[in-house]
Amino acid sequence: MRYNDYSEIIMIEKLKEILRHRELILILVSRELKARYRGTVLGFFWSLFNPLLLMLVYTVVFGFIIGGGRVAGFESTKFYALFLFNGILPWTWFSSSLLESANVLMVQGALIKKIKFPIEVLPIMVVTTNMVHFLFGLPVLVAFFLIFGKSLTWWVLFLPVSLLAQYIFTMGLCFLVSALTVHFRDIKDILANLITLWFFATPIIYTYGSVPKALQYVLNLNPMTHIVESYHYAFYFGSLPHWKRFSVTILVGLLFFYMGYLLFDKLRDTYVEEV
């Protein structure tokens, strides 16, 4: 097998092609951000509104209504709120990316139909824009840690690795979803329900450790379990994540990315006519 054949399989040329569009991706992401933040004075607040609301609701429900002032396994209700926000932030990045990518090729149809445009840039734009929202949320998370009096550790520096793992996995899924929704319009509705289910199948409102052993096997099959866990380790627990599970998750993420892009690329010529 010649060198070329390998590069074909691992998509080196395709990845280079995507990198060539980085200026386009950057300007589209900044367009999305500016448009979101310009329309309203509280733009920045609105992108955090949903995660904050979720945190508040679960804290009230589990901390005060059910728990009567304390949540099992947590030192205090304040810490439970911290733990919640720690997981909800990356989850919001993930779920918003998926939902928006189901629409993005239709919403941006004019770009696809009327000009020569590298279409893969659109799902990339969605995932990257939501990542920036996530990054904007991090200072707020750190502030909560300081306010609630829980110290952070050097393990915070593990964050870029978690970020990369989540980016690759989310990107793969978003390629799949955006490509398939063009052909099957009800994926969007199926997805909305699936994401609710997926939320509860990921350790966000409960800790991984509090789950019975038998159910942990099921949770292990969910890549988001390990990704959200790695954020918990970086911030809340302040220790090294379970590196074996996390490494496998990175590999699974790469596989999703590969398959997702492959399918997206395969269906590329159909978008012009179908969106």
Q: What x/- string results for residues 148 through 187 when contact with another protein is judged by CB under 8 A?
A: -----------------------------------xxxxx
Q: How far is the CB of 41 from another protein (least distance, A)?
A: 13
**221 is a contact residue toward another protein (CB under 8 A):** no
Among 9, 35, 240, 251, interactor with another protein by CB under 8 A: 35
d(CA 29, CA 227): 24
Please compute, for residue 99, the number of CA atoms within 13 A of its CA located in the half-sphere on the CB side.
13
CB 29 within 8 A of CB 128: yes
**34 is a contact residue toward another protein (CB under 8 A):** yes
CB 29 within 8 A of CB 129: yes
**41 is a contact residue toward another protein (CB under 8 A):** no
Total chain residues near another protein (CB under 8 A): 26
Which residue stretch of 24-32, 62-70, 158-166, 192-200 sits at the interface with another protein (rule: CB under 8 A)?
24-32
C-beta of 73 vs 185, nearer to another protein: 185
Which residue stretch of 66-74, 110-118, 162-170, 246-254 sits at the interface with another protein (rule: CB under 8 A)?
110-118
CB 123 within 8 A of CB 171: yes
DSSP string across 178-232: HHHHHH-TTHHHHHHHHHHHHHHTSTTSS-GGGS-HHHHHHHHT-HHHHHHHHHH
**20 is a contact residue toward another protein (CB under 8 A):** no
Structure tokens at 125: 């734009």
d(CA 158, CA 233): 9
d(CA 96, CA 195): 10
**190 is a contact residue toward another protein (CB under 8 A):** yes
Among 10, 15, 42, 110, interactor with another protein by CB under 8 A: 110
Determine the 3-state secondary structure of 108 from DSSP. Answer: coil
C-beta of 2 vs 116, nearer to another protein: 116
> Which residues in 45-104 contact another protein (CB under 8 A)?
none
Q: Which residues bind another protein (CB under 8 A)?
A: 23-24, 27-28, 31, 34-35, 38-39, 110-117, 183-187, 190, 269, 272-273
